[in-house]
Amino acid sequence: MIVCRTKEELKSNLNQLRANEKSVGFVPTMGYLHEGHGSLLRLAHEANDISVLSIYVNPMQFGPNEDLDRYPRDEERDLKLAEECGTDIVFIPSNEEMYPKKPLTTVVVNGLTSQLCGATRPGHFDGVGLVVSKLFHLVKPDRAYFGMKDAQQVAVIEQIVDDLNFDIEIVPCQIVREPDGLALSSRNVYLNAEQRAGAVVLSQSLHLAEEWIKETGVTAGSLIERVKSHIGIAKEANIEYVELLHYPTLEPIEVNKYVGSITSRIILALAVKFGTTRLIDNSLLNTSGGANNV
């Protein structure tokens, strides 16, 4: 496994490995890897001749009062997992390498970023769009792999790829969960024991919603209220949003709309804080019964 810390090292090593038109799979991350990342890395390794991982905590996607400085980092552990997953190249740039001077260019996706996390984290997806575009240009992958835990991010990146004509296949991948249902996240490490126990209400509420939508006469508004009520049983849960939207357009669904009459793909997405730790989760719902997390 080759570790590159500069753009020139990355380019040189990729050019050597890319001989004979070998395919490249790419997994961009902010590090502190867990099994969710591991599943993406294994998919990239299995489906491509070369697999590339980037580890970079991108300051451009953090707001002034967010957790940039304390975001968990463990390079040694990350490299061990990457090697176990068959990764060929790991790119770990510094801030100076990625942004040698303050960028004057932004990548703004209108519409898709005005709700959910975009509504409460202004500028977040502009930072995501910029760093992902930079990484796509540097790695030039054939396929890039993203977890559906952040379904809004996947929709935004798919839009960027389409609008800017990146010749890249975006591969959305299933949410990986703990045995009790909590979606894996690098930020789970922030939770104390009581918060960790309470956080299972997120996946529980999504599972219950999959059952509730099968009932006759369930509206979007009533479904959202039932989900909020269940989340509220957790002592420290502070709901930021619970929303039911069309996917991937992220257009809102009228609160009086009967869920069973919706034929398009819909997503139930939520963000909840436990103490200072903000967790997100979602489920793509099938109104004919069941759900699909991809």
Please tell me the distance from the alpha carbon of residue 137 to that of residue 11, in angstroms, as a whole number.
Answer: 10
Contact (CB, 8 A) for 144 and 136: yes
Measured in degrees and rounded to the nearest 5, phi and psi for residue 35 equal: -65, -25
Catalytic residue among 34, 37, 45, 230: 37
What is the secondary structure of 239-290 as a DSSP string? EEEEEEEETTT--B--TTSBGGG--S-EEEEEEEEETTEEEEEEEEE-TTS-
- Least Cα distance to 140 among 23, 2, 56, 290 occurs for 23
Please tell me the distance from the alpha carbon of residue 244 to that of residue 255, in angstroms, as a whole number.
Answer: 9
Please tell me the distance from the alpha carbon of residue 231 to that of residue 272, in angstroms, as a whole number.
Answer: 9
Task: Compute the Cα dihedral for 155, 157, 162, 164 and give only its sign.
Answer: positive
124 is catalytic: no
Please tell me the distance from the alpha carbon of residue 81 to that of residue 103, in angstroms, as a whole number.
Answer: 32
Please tell me the distance from the alpha carbon of residue 116 to that of residue 270, in angstroms, as a whole number.
Answer: 8
Query: Active-site positions?
Result: 37
